Chains A and B, each alone.
Chain A
């Protein structure tokens, strides 16, 4: 079995890349491979807003990532600086910046870009979407 790190750069709704990343991650986990983490960078951080509210007959990708985490305990990590610039904020950053609202919650987590670099170092393959 092999170890992967998945990088998601595409936005949750504006591109098909995120859904493709989700399908790939699911297939890799189902085949018994290990995913170090799914790292959300660039517009990929938009996948992790809990305020994403697609219509009821549309695929809810944010929920799908959460389900994948529940089933396989795969880590879902945001690049914090990419997220803050795009209005994706956890309670911790909201408190620090004295903002009244926040939209990212567990099981998504904030991490530095270093998590991507360390992840690449530890795994057999990086696959970006």
Chain B
């Protein structure tokens, strides 16, 4: 079980799209930084609908998106540390 970490928005970089090509069903996707913006777009909401998605709480609050994205599980940095250990490895795309 892998924690895939994306920190750039799909408008900036194709990290998210590359990651989705190789992610396994049981893996987790963590969106941080501008990557959280992907969740505002219908096309990405659909592509991510079958994947466990986490967002970094500070990044959505900082961007004023916490209410808009409240259907996604948000985690603190403390929980981020725990998630890296709960998964076998972290891949930062």
Chain A–chain B contact at Cβ < 8 A? yes
Chain A positions within 8 Å of B, measured between CB atoms, are 2, 4, 16-17, 20, 23-24, 26-28, 30-31, 33, 124-129
Expressed in whole angstroms, the minimum distance between the Cβ of A26 and any Cβ of chain B is: 7
B residues in contact with A2, CB < 8 Å = 85
A125 vs B83: C-alpha distance when bound (angstroms): 11
Q: B56 to chain A: which residues have CB within 8 Å?
A: 20
Q: Which chain B residue shows the least CB distance to A4?
A: B84
B81 pairs with A20, CB closer than 8 A: no
Q: Which residues of A contact B85 (CB under 8 A)?
A: 2, 124-125
Question: B: which residues have CB within 8 A of A?
Answer: 5, 7, 32-34, 56, 58, 76-78, 80-82, 84-85, 89-90, 92
- B84 and A128 contacting across the interface, CB-CB below 8 Å: no
- Assess whether A23 is in contact with B77, with CB atoms less than 8 Å apart: yes
Cross-chain contact A126 with B7 (CB below 8 angstroms): no
A129 to B85, CA, bound (A): 17
| Distance (whole angstroms) from the CB of B36 to the closest CB of chain A | 11
Q: Do B78 and A129 touch across chains, with their CB atoms under 8 A apart? A: no
CB distance from B16 to the nearest CB of A (A): 15
Given contacts A23-B58, A129-B7, contact A33 B81 (CB under 8 A): yes
CA distance A20 to B56 in the complex (A): 10
Query: Can you give 19 contacting A-B residue pairs, CB < 8 Å?
Result: A4-B84, A17-B7, A17-B33, A23-B58, A24-B77, A24-B81, A26-B77, A27-B76, A27-B77, A27-B78, A31-B81, A33-B81, A124-B85, A125-B89, A126-B90, A127-B90, A127-B92, A128-B90, A129-B7
